[in-house]
Amino acid sequence: MSIVVTEKAFKEIKRIRENDPSAAEANLRVMVVGGGCSGMSYKLGFDSQPVAANDKVIEKDGLKIIVDAKSLLFLSGTELDFTDGLNGTGFVFKNPNAKRTCGCGSSFSA
């Protein structure tokens, strides 16, 4: 299983990449790293390194979103969305594997 990236998230990622000259040819890498108040944190960043053989690639309209195999263990079935509502603006992870999340939603435990 993979992650699902909403149309709104794809549009925002493309907008950010188009406005950042250093990311013009880069792919978006989605990772899970140790840290945060719940034990693990989500990390998004543009990456110009080649795609590794065990990376999962989600591609749409020329944009590649890459998830490494280790992170995919924690992100399988997750929806990556973007919100710009009254309660805040940013990327939101809806992760069915998270047993506990912090108040800000940027860290979790599985």
Structural domain for 97, as ranges: 4-109
Q: What is the pLDDT along the chain (110 residues), one digit of tens a residue?
A: 689 999 999 999 999 999 998 888 899 999 998 876 667 888 999 999 888 999 999 888 888 999 999 999 989 999 999 998 777 788 989 988 877 665 555 555 66
Six-digit token pair at 44? 């998004």
pTM, full prediction:
0.82
Residue 23: give its domain's CATH number: 2.60.300.12
Tally of structural domains, the chain: 1
d(CA 103, CA 38): 10
Q: Is 97 helix (H, G, I), strand (E, B) or coil?
A: coil
